[in-house]
Amino acid sequence: MASKPPAGDPIQDAPQVAAPKHAAAGLPAVAHSLIIARQQMGLRRSAQTLLKLNQKNGFDCPGCAWPEGDHRHKAEFCENGAKAVAEEATVRRVTPDFFADHSVADLAERSGYWLGQQGRITQPMYLPEGADHYQAIPWERAFGIIGEELKALNSPDEACFYTSGRTSNEAAFLLQLFAREFGTNNLPDCSNMCHESSGSALAETIGIGKGSVSLEDMHKADLIIVAGQNPGTNHPRMLSALEKAKAAGAKIISINPLPEAGLERFKNPQTPLGMVKGAALTDLFLQIRIGGDQALFRLLNKIVLDTPGAVDESFVAEFTHGYEEFAAAAREADWDQTLTATGLDRADIEKAGEMVLASKRTIICWAMGLTQHKHSVPTIREVVNLLLLRGNIGRPGAGVCPVRGHSNVQGDRTMGIFERPSDAFLDALDLEFSITSPRHHGYDVVRSIEALRDGDAKVFFAMGGNFVGATPDTLVTEAAMRNARLTVHVSTKLNRSHVVTGVRALILPTLGRTDKDFQAGIRQIVTVEDSMGMVHASRGNLEPASPHLLSEPAIVVRMARATLGPASLIPWEDFEKDYANIRDRIARVIPGFENFNERVADPNGFELPHAPRDERKFNTDTGKANFTAAPVEYPKLPEGRLLLQTMRSHDQYNTTIYGLDDRYRGIKNGRRIVMVNPEDAAELDLPDGSYTDLVSEWKDGVERRAPGFRIVHYPTARGCAAAYYPETNVLVPLDATADISNTPTSKSVIVRFERAERQAAVAE
């Protein structure tokens, strides 16, 4: 199986390579974001929009889930936040004429970059069975088709309702309510591919699947460990928090196979001096092999256990369970195995151990570098073990910090977007709405694809996102999608999921964060929850991209009515009229949201309760924080293969491509590149600038191929390679998933390299 680079696409992928940078942000970041903002929005609209970003009474940045803190009065500059806003607030438009000019077959030949660059979608569009082109359709007819198809299913479980993490709390709450009244828990979401491993590991060990630190904690920490995360690109505002922590005396350890510029040095555009000189951030860089983190943290735990007086005995005795068994396993941690698994020097690990021992308040941050491996859940549990050993949970300046991706991915889960809801949640929902929610678990992302592939699911509905672009095993997933009777995408911009469709397809264009939202004459707000459990309002300030757009809550309301009819006793229309009515219900169903409407009026928002952080209470099966002692695992490579991680460039937001540069890593004008350590390249005969096919190897014996990648010699850890997603999703087998969380293992794909001619379609 091979994925072709797009053929009919005028956008050229012709990578140029320079030396990687050692600092992030600074003037080039400001300049770059202004260029993109101006291209998409023009000057006036750029100013009008960017000034409202993350302000009190403004809209929440659709960029990432990093919190704002109390300084929201002062614009915190973020290049990639500005790019995310420009992408949405663009003045370019995709109208019915566009679809008349471009058949679906034509659009299927275009790159994701080209599709996204066409602008905001202006009207609901329908692809009838057998048609070549999408055509405009009135909203009521669109909802009629959805209702028709949903009612024709043999079981509600033949439908899947996907959510991407930009969806507001209000829309998410309505969507899960509809799915449950309809009769299914098939609520896959982007979290299944993202922080599911964190949620699984944290729920089991500390009793809640969320991080335990606030922004203030970051500023109070003695030691911050950043593992498997590239904040310079993906959470740029986190660099200011790290800078502040450093200024207050914190030390930083970075654990990453790549030396990421943002973690080396940060040039704060907020301060004139910072802009020029910048602050060094990382004190110790552990250039780990992909997948070596569990072994590393196990060894650090051994160091703590072997140091007299280092364990916080009273915390362990009072608040934890399973210490003896864990301690026995960790004391056995083997240096040789650790050095093989991590590729690190013993001296560096010992240095890290000293820093851990010297710190009274430690925070560990992580993202996709820890969550997308086969053994991600045990890896994150090992992180928790280290914090528990030293009493670093529920203490100011200390704790777990899984850094979330999408700006409301955490909130969507809080609202009940989850295929495995707790009985307590469903009981509360049933009581409030007099419905009977199904209790059996639904499909996550991977199981939804399998169900579509096998004909067990027939209707696929997506509240945002780009399902076929973001999911693994592209060719398998695309074939599965084509099996559906109906695919529906609620979207702002065009993407691959609109052109790989079921027998019939609908595109439902919606308001974005930046758009004004009026319902029944009332200006609406929506709410979001950031990575640290702060909930606040978001209010768009631009004229909507088109007068035909409906908001996400309105779309769910009308879909619900078209499907459930008058038999539904839920007053759906009230929810569309004023979202405050939705928040009143959320307040009654979800703990922590009492007096929701009142509290969200505070421009700083409010904090959700977090039992381990607030009162050292752990709602686990044992009633304590659980130590765990899983066997240490790490990837083992056959001869002549490398372990490929699939990651983000600086100019993309997941499957949305802003441009073809990855500035900090020295890559320009191309995305089909693969980074390889020069010594591995010498052994495998992969000269810099030569072209290769990437072929992934998996136990099913199926050959998955991504053709035509330029080799870039790059200082990544030995045995490792790196390339961008989504182009490399074709290489990730659908059943290569993490144990327990079922997250695709997109950071550990075993690949071999086959010399290729430079692909004509890529170059010309």
Please tell me the distance from the alpha carbon of residue 133 to that of residue 105, in angstroms, as a whole number.
Answer: 8
What SS3 state is found at 764?
A: coil
C-alpha to C-alpha distances, 420 to 271, 438, 441, 447, nearest whole angstrom: 46, 11, 5, 13
Separation of CA 455 from chain center: 28
Q: Quote the least distance from Cβ 486 to ligand MGD, whole Å.
A: 17
Q: Is 339 exposed, middle or buried (CB count within 10 Å of its CB: 0-12, 13-18, 19+)?
A: middle
Looking at residues 282 to 321 of the shown chain, list those that interact with ligand MGD (rule: CB under 6 A): 288, 290-291, 293
- Nearer residue to ligand MGD within complex by CB, 196 or 312: 196
Q: Is 524 in the site for ligand MGD (CB under 6 A)?
A: no
Please tell me the distance from the alpha carbon of residue 628 to that of residue 325, in angstroms, as a whole number.
Answer: 8
- Nearer residue to ligand MGD within complex by CB, 33 or 46: 33
Please tell me the distance from the alpha carbon of residue 711 to that of residue 657, in angstroms, as a whole number.
Answer: 21
**Using CB under 6 A, which of 67, 156, 257, 421 touches ligand MGD?**
257
Q: 668 with 746: CB under 8 angstroms?
A: no
Take residue 745 and report the two structure tokens written for it. 């293992």
C-alpha to C-alpha distances, 728 to 45, 95, 449, nearest whole angstrom: 35, 31, 18
Instruction: Report the first-to-last Cα separation within the chain, whole angstroms.
Output: 24
Place of tokens 């978001």: 538
Please tell me the distance from the alpha carbon of residue 64 to that of residue 166, in angstroms, as a whole number.
Answer: 9
Residue 747's binding partner out of ligand MGD, Mo ion, none, with CB under 5 to 8 Å set by partner kind: ligand MGD
How many residues form the binding site for ligand MGD (CB under 6 A)?
60
**Using CB under 6 A, which of 369, 533, 540, 605 touches ligand MGD?**
369
Q: Quote the least distance from Cβ 315 to ligand MGD, whole Å.
A: 26
- Nearer residue to Mo ion within complex by CB, 90 or 198: 198
Q: Is 645 in the site for ligand MGD (CB under 6 A)?
A: yes
- Nearer residue to ligand MGD within complex by CB, 59 or 618: 59
Q: Quote the least distance from Cβ 434 to Mo ion, whole Å.
A: 36
C-alpha to C-alpha distances, 134 to 201, 463, 509, 559, nearest whole angstrom: 44, 19, 13, 20
Please tell me the distance from the alpha carbon of residue 488 to that of residue 464, in angstroms, as a whole number.
Answer: 10
DSSP-assigned states of every residue in 486-520: EEEEEESB--GGGTS--SEEEEEEB--TTB--EET
**CA gyration radius, the chain:** 25
Kindly indicate which of the ranges 152-160, 350-358, 393-401, 651-659 contains the residues binding ligand MGD, using the contact rule CB under 6 A: 651-659
- Nearer residue to ligand MGD within complex by CB, 161 or 618: 161
Please tell me the distance from the alpha carbon of residue 257 to that of residue 267, in angstroms, as a whole number.
Answer: 23
- Nearer residue to Mo ion within complex by CB, 542 or 723: 723
Q: Is 652 in the site for ligand MGD (CB under 6 A)?
A: yes
- Nearer residue to ligand MGD within complex by CB, 293 or 529: 293
Q: Quote the least distance from Cβ 277 to Mo ion, whole Å.
A: 33
Kindly indicate which of the ranges 25-33, 257-265, 336-344, 591-599 contains the residues binding ligand MGD, using the contact rule CB under 6 A: 257-265
Separation of CA 601 from chain center: 28
What SS3 state is found at 625?
A: strand
Looking at residues 540 to 579 of the shown chain, list those that interact with ligand MGD (rule: CB under 6 A): 552
Place of tokens 């479980």: 157
DSSP-assigned states of every residue in 528-560: EE-TTSEEEEE---B--S-TT-B-HHHHHHHHH
Residue 729's binding partner out of Mo ion, ligand MGD, none, with CB under 5 to 8 Å set by partner kind: ligand MGD
Q: Quote the least distance from Cβ 405 to Mo ion, whole Å.
A: 3
Which residues here bind Mo ion, judged by CB under 5 A?
A: 194, 405
Looking at residues 476 to 515 of the shown chain, list those that interact with ligand MGD (rule: CB under 6 A): 490-493, 495, 510, 512-513
Q: 195 with 201: CB under 8 angstroms?
A: no
Residue 342's binding partner out of ligand MGD, Mo ion, none, with CB under 5 to 8 Å set by partner kind: none
Residue 491's binding partner out of Mo ion, ligand MGD, none, with CB under 5 to 8 Å set by partner kind: ligand MGD
Q: 79 with 29: CB under 8 angstroms?
A: yes
Site string for ligand MGD, 170-199 (x = CB under 6 A): --------------------x--xx-----
Fill in the DSSP letter of residue 25.
Answer: E
Residue 234's binding partner out of Mo ion, ligand MGD, none, with CB under 5 to 8 Å set by partner kind: ligand MGD
**Using CB under 6 A, which of 29, 481, 500, 732 touches ligand MGD?**
732
Q: Quote the least distance from Cβ 683 to ligand MGD, whole Å.
A: 21
| Cis preceding linkage at 509, omega within 30 | no
**Using CB under 6 A, which of 483, 646, 742, 759 touches ligand MGD?**
646
- Nearer residue to ligand MGD within complex by CB, 234 or 696: 234
- Nearer residue to Mo ion within complex by CB, 192 or 205: 192
Interior angle at CA 7, CA 660 and CA 233, nearest 5: 20
Q: Is 111 in the site for ligand MGD (CB under 6 A)?
A: no
Q: 604 with 216: CB under 8 angstroms?
A: no
Site string for ligand MGD, 12-51 (x = CB under 6 A): ----------------------------------------
Please tell me the distance from the alpha carbon of residue 105 to that of residue 618, in angstroms, as a whole number.
Answer: 54
What residue type is assigned to position 118 of the chain?
Q
Looking at residues 409 to 438 of the shown chain, list those that interact with ligand MGD (rule: CB under 6 A): none
- Nearer residue to ligand MGD within complex by CB, 316 or 706: 706
What SS3 state is found at 406?
A: coil
Query: What residue is closest to Mo ion based on CB?
Result: 405
- Nearer residue to Mo ion within complex by CB, 194 or 226: 194
Residue 228's binding partner out of ligand MGD, Mo ion, none, with CB under 5 to 8 Å set by partner kind: ligand MGD
Looking at residues 194 to 253 of the shown chain, list those that interact with ligand MGD (rule: CB under 6 A): 194, 227-230, 233-235
β-sheet bridge partners, residue 505: 127, 487
Q: Name the residues that contact ligand MGD, by CB under 6 A.
A: 63-64, 80, 164-166, 190, 193-194, 227-230, 233-235, 255-258, 260, 288, 290-291, 293, 367-369, 405-406, 463-467, 470, 490-493, 495, 510, 512-513, 552, 645-648, 652-656, 725, 728-729, 732, 746-747
